[in-house]
Chains A and B, each alone.
Chain A
Amino acid sequence: MTTTMAGPAPLDETTTIDQLTLDPYPLYRRMRAETPVLRVKSVGRTLLTKAADCKMVKDNPGLFSSDDPNTPMKRAFLAHTLMRKDGQEHMAERMAMMPAFLPKTIVNHWAPMYTRYAEEYVGRLPRGEVVDLFPALAGPIAARILAEIMGVPDASDEEMQRWSQALIDGAGNFGWRPEPFERSDAANAEMDACLERNAERLRAEPDSSALSIMVNSAKPIPWSQMVSNVKIAIGGGINEPRDAALTIIFGLLTNPDQLEEVRRQDAWDKAFEEGVRWCAPIQASSRLVLEDTEIRGCHIPKGDTVMTIQASACHDEDIYDEPHRYIVFREKNPHQAFGSGPHHCAGAHVARRTVGAILMPILFDRFPNMELVDPDIVEWRGFGFRGPINMPVRLA
């Protein structure tokens, strides 16, 4: 008698992190077709590129844990954060701030302020000139909105963006070099002071910000966890709305007929969804395998780290026709750009209602004839996080 046992996933020894950073989509297309479960040596993980597999992993935290101790994240954040926890512990920390990010709070407390900021930041852009929207608009407004919602409004746009980048660089410092950690340590010290100052203010005068909700809770989580919660939001809450905004702007400006139709139907929500599907700001996530298992006939051993590639899930031909194109009016768009499962992006509603519903119509209304200087000079970068790194437009 013979028993069949699944073999290991195929091993790719040629794909480099540089290739995945510069132009990952053609590589993912090939993986989806030929090797949807693939160990990639340079990444040190098993990449999952089909939508169904990504969702299955994210929806099964009992088998695929977020608690991966072998990352530099803990060192960068000087804390074990909720991103890397499971179960009740994760839920308690997440729910401590979640009310600040839900639609009701956004509509009742934040929307008027966001509209004012969007008008102010868009309003100061110089008409008739060529401007790079990355540093001139997308980065600063993402920083401002986050500072307000988290409860640290006295942090400047520059500080928020610098802290965010320092945390991202530290958490991604898999080479464990000293310099990124020196920068994240310095940012942590500045953020700690800022948080203590604002917590004191919010204890006296509560508002709807995440920090206020946490410090004024009847059953507060420990201060150290409040601090790491805010840091997670800063580390992961600026680049995504920034990159999403720039991607949507690029998609609409390179498809003027669709822009016209979006205007006519006021379909900014759909333009937003298609933007985050087209280039998911968070492209990949890691999960630690807790028990031997099997995916698509490949043996996945306990202790392996699988990487769900949301970027690829959002381009899966099983779900999308012409996935490489920006097509606002798709019949269905069940993308995984915000992930799935218990770690589903806590900022999803905020992003939809700030970038999608508020910023885009204000920008395109103020500059109805805005155009890209040259689509070919827009550069896209990133393996874990991805988006345009420049967006020169002529404002008109």
Chain B
Amino acid sequence: MVKVTYISTTGEKTTVEGKAGDSVMQTAVDHGIDGIVGECGGSMACATCHVFVDEAFLAATGEKSDSEEAMLEGAASDVRPNSRLSCQIRLSDALDGLVVQVAEEQM
């Protein structure tokens, strides 16, 4: 199991146990985390799973694809250097303890 902590827009922290191989978006949806919609199911088609990754884990989450960059550019909340679509981050042992902040607006 991989521990993930979601910080809501009001600062509330929820830590859940995800499965290696699942995405950070799917893990959030499975645990009912508010603010991560993930309407397209993880196909990079809706830009409703925007998160800000804690700096300590940024390198471990990997590179963004061009498509992800393009979708983030248009996302509802302002994009920051640590912005990611959480459907594009796969959980692994290297990400145990991952902390992400949920973006304010998704739609």
Q: A99-B73, A103-B74 are in contact. Are A59 and B46 (CB under 8 A)?
A: no
- A344 near B46 with CB under 8 A, answer yes
Q: State whether the Cβ of B42 lies closer than 8 Å to any Cβ in chain A.
A: yes
Chain A positions within 8 Å of B73 at CB level: 99, 102, 104
- B45 near A352 with CB under 8 A, answer no
- B70 near A98 with CB under 8 A, answer yes
Q: State whether the Cβ of A91 lies closer than 8 Å to any Cβ in chain B.
A: yes
Q: Which single residue of chain B is at the shortest CB-CB distance from A56?
A: B41
Chain B positions within 8 Å of A85 at CB level: none
Q: Which single residue of chain A is at the shortest CB-CB distance from B50?
A: A103
Q: State whether the Cβ of A135 lies closer than 8 Å to any Cβ in chain B.
A: no
Interface of B (DSSP majority class): loop
Q: For residues 71 through 105 of chain B, which have their beta carbon under 8 Å from a beta carbon of chain A?
A: 71, 73-76, 105
Q: For residues 47 through 70 of chain B, which have their beta carbon under 8 Å from a beta carbon of chain A?
A: 47, 67, 70
B77 to chain A, nearest CB (A): 8
Chain A positions within 8 Å of B76 at CB level: 103-104, 107, 349
Q: How far is the CA of A7 from the CA of B74 in the complex (A)?
A: 47
Choose from B40, B70, B74, B75 the contact partner of A341 (Cβ within 8 Å).
B40
Q: How far is the CA of A2 from the CA of B39 in the complex (A)?
A: 43
Choose from A91, A107, A348 the contact partner of B46 (Cβ within 8 Å).
A348
Chain B positions within 8 Å of A343 at CB level: 45
- A59 near B41 with CB under 8 A, answer yes
- B67 near A91 with CB under 8 A, answer yes
Chain A positions within 8 Å of B39 at CB level: 338, 340, 344, 348
Q: State whether the Cβ of B10 lies closer than 8 Å to any Cβ in chain A.
A: no
Q: State whether the Cβ of B1 lies closer than 8 Å to any Cβ in chain A.
A: no
Q: A91-B67, A98-B74 are in contact. Are A59 and B43 (CB under 8 A)?
A: yes
- B67 near A103 with CB under 8 A, answer no
Chain A positions within 8 Å of B67 at CB level: 91, 95
Q: How far is the CA of A58 from the CA of B42 in the complex (A)?
A: 11
Q: Mark A321-345, 1 if CB is under 8 A from B, else 0.
A: 0000000000000000011111110
Q: Which single residue of chain A is at the shortest CB-CB distance from B40?
A: A344
Number of A-B contacts (CB under 8 A): 63
* Range class of the B interface residue count: 10 to 19
Chain A positions within 8 Å of B71 at CB level: 98, 102
Q: How far is the CA of A308 from the CA of B11 in the complex (A)?
A: 39
Q: How far is the CA of A338 from the CA of B40 in the complex (A)?
A: 8
Q: How far is the CA of A91 from the CA of B65 in the complex (A)?
A: 12
Q: How far is the CA of A269 from the CA of B42 in the complex (A)?
A: 23
B31 to chain A, nearest CB (A): 14
Q: How far is the CA of A339 from the CA of B107 in the complex (A)?
A: 16
- B105 near A103 with CB under 8 A, answer yes
A94 to chain B, nearest CB (A): 8
Q: State whether the Cβ of A55 lies closer than 8 Å to any Cβ in chain B.
A: yes
Q: How far is the CA of A94 from the CA of B74 in the complex (A)?
A: 14
Chain B positions within 8 Å of A95 at CB level: 67, 70
A60 to chain B, nearest CB (A): 10
Choose from A59, A99, A103, A269 the contact partner of B70 (Cβ within 8 Å).
A99
- A102 near B74 with CB under 8 A, answer yes
A354 to chain B, nearest CB (A): 13
Q: For residues 331 through 387 of chain A, which have their beta carbon under 8 Å from a beta carbon of chain B?
A: 338-344, 346, 348-349, 352
Q: Which single residue of chain B is at the shortest CB-CB distance from A103?
A: B76
- A104 near B74 with CB under 8 A, answer yes
- A344 near B43 with CB under 8 A, answer yes
B25 to chain A, nearest CB (A): 12
Chain B positions within 8 Å of A105 at CB level: 74
Choose from A59, A94, A98 the contact partner of B42 (Cβ within 8 Å).
A59
B44 to chain A, nearest CB (A): 8
Q: Mark A193-236, 1 if CB is under 8 A from B, else 0.
A: 00000000000000000000000000000000000000000000
Chain B positions within 8 Å of A104 at CB level: 73-76
A219 to chain B, nearest CB (A): 10
**Other CB < 8 Å A-B pairs besides A103-B75, A340-B39, A340-B40, 14 of them?**
A59-B41, A95-B70, A98-B71, A102-B73, A103-B47, A103-B105, A103-B107, A104-B74, A340-B41, A341-B41, A341-B45, A342-B44, A343-B45, A349-B107
A-B pairs with the 8 shortest C-beta distances?
A102-B74, A344-B40, A103-B76, A344-B45, A340-B41, A342-B43, A59-B41, A104-B74
Can you spell out 13 A-B residue pairs with CB atoms less than 8 angstroms apart?
A: A98-B71, A99-B70, A101-B74, A103-B74, A104-B73, A104-B74, A340-B40, A340-B43, A341-B41, A342-B40, A342-B44, A344-B41, A352-B107
